[in-house]
Amino acid sequence: MSITLFDLTGKVALITGATHGLGQAMAIGLGQAGATLVVNGASSQDKLNKAVEHYKSLGLNTYGFLFDVTDEAQVIKNIEAIESEVGPIDILVNNAGIIKRTPLEQMEVTDFEEVIKVDLVSPFIVSKHVVKGMISRKRGKIINICSMMSELGRNTVGAYAAAKGGLKMLTKNMATEWAKHNIQTNGIGPGYFATSQTEPIRIDGHPFNEFILNRTPAAKWGDPEDLAGTAVFLASKASNFVNGQIVYVDGGILATIGKPSNET
């Protein structure tokens, strides 16, 4: 198999919410495969600037655009700017997301709606306006970042699970409608990864750390770099006949019912 199947040289990739964490890991993978990176952030210009400088320090051609992915007017304005200043968007990674951990009976409706808006509505908004250019060019790759919560429930994350379950089906419908334009729309469902956010619960003896190590057949947390290969595959011509699929990068969690805590 030719390595050129995975070559993204000359491609422009927009990754939302890629100033840190798993979004940053996937963006680095795309950049190392040759793509020009367009990194989106929403919280602060300073944080976005620091992220762009980090990418550039790795030798990656990177641009930063600050906008709210839930605001359609901002999305339209910035997509037009990206395509004018950087180039046509060949790859879109809808990664921006939030989570609010609250039992459903205690959750405010406004909080539930905010999670749905960021995690489900924003991928629709951004994709809707990016895909118009893809349709005109008859090519494109859209990658929606789903979750194991696209398949499973868990206490206190009902809004997040509802959004990510919806994103799974939105991914399938995007593929259904846009495949005829030579556009592939797929999803990635990350498992539990070793990030700065999970560091406090990854210490030996912490109940959640023990739960994840016992629940995951690979018996470890994922390395953020483990997502890069899947992102590159779904962004490259290697996946030209893969459409409407969710690839779960989870160390095997969804493949098993699990095991008792005292079983080796």
Structure confidence by residue, pLDDT tens digits, 34-59: 999 999 999 899 999 999 999 999 99
Structure confidence by residue, pLDDT tens digits, 85-119: 999 999 999 999 999 999 999 999 999 999 999 99
Q: Domain for residue 212, yes or no?
A: no
CA distance 40 to 82: 11
Query: How far is residue 24 CA from its own chain's centroid?
Result: 10
Position 258 scores a pLDDT of: 79
Q: Domain for residue 220, yes or no?
A: no
Domain of 52, CATH number, reads 3.40.50.720
Position 88 scores a pLDDT of: 98
Q: Domain for residue 140, yes or no?
A: yes
Can you state the angle between helices 109-116 and 158-178, rounded to 10 degrees? 30
Q: Domain for residue 205, yes or no?
A: no
Q: Is 188 helix (H, G, I), strand (E, B) or coil?
A: strand
Q: Domain for residue 164, yes or no?
A: yes
Confidence of residue 7 (pLDDT cuts 50, 70, 90): very high
Residue 231 Cα distances to 12, 45, 228, angstroms: 14, 26, 5
Structure confidence by residue, pLDDT tens digits, 162-179: 999 999 999 999 999 999
Domain count, the chain: 1
Q: Domain for residue 259, yes or no?
A: no
Which range of residues forms the domain containing residue 25? 7-195+225-249
The CA radius of gyration of the chain, in Å to the nearest whole number, is 18
Contact (Cβ atoms closer than 8 angstroms) between residue 239 and residue 184: yes
Confidence of residue 2 (pLDDT cuts 50, 70, 90): low
Average pLDDT over residues 24-38: 98
pLDDT score of 4 more than 80: yes
Enumerate the active-site residues. 160
CA distance 134 to 89: 8
Contact (Cβ atoms closer than 8 angstroms) between residue 159 and residue 206: no
Q: Domain for residue 201, yes or no?
A: no
- State the pTM of this model: 0.96
Helix (H) or strand (E) holding 262: none
Q: Domain for residue 173, yes or no?
A: yes
pLDDT score of 84 more than 90: yes
CB 218: neighbour CB atoms within 10 A?
13
Structure confidence by residue, pLDDT tens digits, 185-243: 999 999 999 988 788 889 999 999 999 999 999 999 999 999 999 999 999 999 999 99
Structure confidence by residue, pLDDT tens digits, 125-166: 999 999 999 999 999 999 999 999 999 999 999 999 999 999
